[in-house]
């Protein structure tokens, strides 16, 4: 698959998703991107938490991200600051334009087992 085809497929998948894994990196500051570097959303907030320690003595910090996609949906997520990969989630259904939401607007959330 060529880069242009991959970017189109990723953008389509992102537009239809409520959970999506992409990249927040120094190579593309202020953007949530595909693996090819195509912009999916603008990062509106990026913070790094305090240093945490693992039971074996390793150290890591979490990044907390808020982003807004071109269709106006707000996405939030967090992940280790050691990697560029991060998973974002949205509560807004695709095509949401504002106004009242009914209970049927959201499919039920299920916890991963």
pLDDT in tens, 50-98: 888 989 988 888 889 999 998 888 999 988 876 788 999 987 765 555 4
- In the block, tokens 């269709």 appear at 71
Nearest to 107 by CA among 36, 18, 32: 18
pLDDT at 35: 85
SS3 11: helix
Query: Mean pLDDT across the chain, nearest whole number?
Result: 80
Query: Per the confidence metrics, is the pTM higher than 0.75?
Result: no
How far apart CA 66 and CA 101 sit, in angstroms, is: 22
């Amino acid at each position: 698959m060529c880069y242009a085809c991959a970017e189109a497929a990723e953008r389509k998948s992102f537009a239809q998703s409520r959970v999506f894994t992409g990249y927040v990196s120094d190579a593309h500051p202020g953007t949530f991107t595909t693996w090819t570097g195509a912009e999916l959303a603008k990062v509106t907030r990026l913070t790094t938490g305090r240093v945490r320690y693992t039971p074996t003595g390793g150290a890591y910090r979490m990044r907390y991200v808020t982003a807004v996609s071109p269709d106006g949906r707000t996405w939030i997520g967090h992940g280790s600051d050691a990697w560029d990969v991060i998973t974002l989630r949205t509560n807004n259904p695709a095509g949401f334009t504002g106004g009242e939401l009914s209970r049927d607007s959201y499919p039920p959330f299920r916890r991963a087992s």
